[in-house]
Homo-oligomer: A and B are copies of this chain.
């Protein structure tokens, strides 16, 4: 009896992996989640951690705690190095782990499109340690600006550039603008605020390209009202850590370049190269089964479900990952019972982005609105989808506090950021 139980190994404790494992509760399978962190990250609010608005701990949730009382669940902190698809085995940093069914839910990582100089010098923001590094760096650069020796140095330290005009880029640029407006004046009376500049650089013609034209235009207007200089149709040529060179000869001296210009799938070595498509995503069929395998699946950002309706796969957003996790749970159980599987259907809940206080944009199918009400809607949705009551409560308290005080309370340099060097990768964690 015990031996007939199948073991489902899920790599990644993000939105998709967590949902899948939850939906397998009280079923006749064993579930093992592997993740390099012991917590689930609520990625949509990373930019608030990076800009001193929220504690890191309130957007992270211990994975073990999510599954408290789920008897068929186990968890290990480890990094998967390779899949041995012949032996149905994973090589990991804590040894080999066998599976009957494997689900790759590893999400995505920053895409620097092969430009290693930019990768080396620009700041990504896809994980909590990265967001904390960025928080430290922004604050360190403000401190350094006070003692800059040349006007060039000072300018570079006070020019903040966000590359990438998707939701993360828009939200980050807006948050830095609010930091300037409400906090720097009080915290750095010695600084000439006119020298603090915030840029948002986007390669395509519009910000928030996945949203409606109204949302695109309004978000740009909001940013400009808040003092952000927006460059669209502008590509980054190079960044040496000091000077960001843009198309058409434009350049900005900046010590702080935040990279949110693209993501790629966080794939694991060992899959057939044919299964990997554009953007490092894993090609899956309508049941999220990886092309060429019978017992390997991929969900969420790392999966590319390419159909006639979705030639680029689904958007890399939490609802798509959650819905795929939910559907895959049903399909895995169906497979085990030799019942027919069901094709995944994406239900688009709409999208939203916040630019700043009282300024957000929301598209829900044909319903589009912007401004104060959109901002409250954005906060409500994010609060509700945060994992854990304590986190909801602490984030709510912080937001209410910030609303009335105009403050971003957690501007702390807990671990100073050190420039990467080849010997020491301790910042990369």
List the interface of chain A (C-beta within 8 A of B): 37-39, 55-58, 60, 62, 64-65, 68-69, 71, 74, 76-77, 94-95, 128-129, 132, 139-140, 143, 146-147, 186-190, 388-391, 393-394, 397-398, 401, 405, 407, 409-416, 418, 423-424, 426, 429
Contact = CB atoms under 8 A, between A and B. Distances in A.
B412 A39 contact: yes
B62 A147 contact: no
A38 B189 CA distance: 16
Copy number in the complex reads 2
Contacts of A132: 414
A62 B429 contact: no
Contact of A62 (B37, B39, B64, B412): B412
Contacts of A74: 190
A65 B186 contact: yes
A159 to B, nearest CB: 20
A189 B72 CA distance: 11
A95 B60 CA distance: 39
21 contacts: A38-B143, A39-B414, A55-B55, A55-B56, A57-B412, A60-B412, A60-B414, A62-B187, A65-B186, A74-B190, A76-B146, A77-B143, A128-B414, A132-B414, A388-B409, A390-B397, A390-B407, A390-B409, A397-B397, A416-B429, A426-B426
Which 4 A-B pairs rank lowest in CB-CB distance, beginning with the nearest? A55-B57, A64-B187, A426-B426, A57-B410
Contacts of A393: 397, 401
Nearest to A39: B412
A140 B424 CA distance: 21
A189 B65 CA distance: 11
